[in-house]
Structure 1
Amino acid sequence: MAGALVGGAFLSAFLQVAFDRLASPKILDYFQERKLNASLLKKLQITLISINAVIDDAEEKQIRNPNVKRWVDELKEAVFAAEDLLDEIETEISIQELEAELHATSSKVPNLSTAMASASVNLFDKEIESRIEKVLGDLKHLAKQKDVLGLMKDGFGVGGK
């Protein structure tokens, strides 16, 4: 039982980090500057909030119900995928900041490597949106399943626990 509760605390903490990162001005600015679909970030955040509301109940019920255990495992995979995407976005932001610094300190005329870097950014932008949509779809599917599994917000239903 203690292991499940530790796992739940871990997943809740992981979700909190994801919430903070989704609200990060750097990530929001990146999406706005690149004219990417910033509503994907909001949808991702709302879906994670919906799932976060039932984490404690799921962690407790997974001990008795193998279907809930599988749901929690799938949820962990989807949350880790979302975290990986946020890591990649932050890495791309850092790379672009470094390239901008190098370009600012260099008086060279843009060359072929600059054009190639720009093309790779465009490819990254297109890829990241579709990957966010996939993770979002997975998380939305899991969020719908919480009702089928009888998971309740903070472990309380209509009649209590």
Structure 2
Amino acid sequence: MPSISLITLAVADVARSRAFYEALGMRDATPSNEAEAVAFLDGGGVVLSLYGREALAEDTGLADARPGGMTLAFNVPKPEDVPARLAEAVAAGATVMKEPREMPWGGVTAYFADPDGHPWEITWVREFPLTEDGRIVLSDDPAVP
């Protein structure tokens, strides 16, 4: 059963946005080697990702990622699941935005647009193990033994 595992917001300033969401009570669980470029916050079952506008536009292939821009994501348990999941989306009517590719940070990612143009990411991230129902387990999650 697929589950939405991550929502990425395009932000002007990652550090400022991280501080804002932490002030609202979300716990930052960003790997230290990624802290400048992106933030991952515990959203209570869904991870909230904060990504610079220009970087998200480049990553997705969209012309821009203006305020209000965002992507939704399906995280998958194995790298080979990314192209398989993309094929399922295309069969259901999606349009491929970016074919599966290995990323500089070590994961595998693809993007598609739903029939209304909303961008979705399908991704495998080694540092984000998944529960059986597809939820991300943040590496320093205090609820995980």
Mark yes or no: TM-score above 0.5. no
More strand by share: 2
More helix by share: 1
TM-score, structure 1 normalization:
0.22
Which of 1 and 2 has higher RCO (CA within 8 Å, sep 6+)?
A: 1
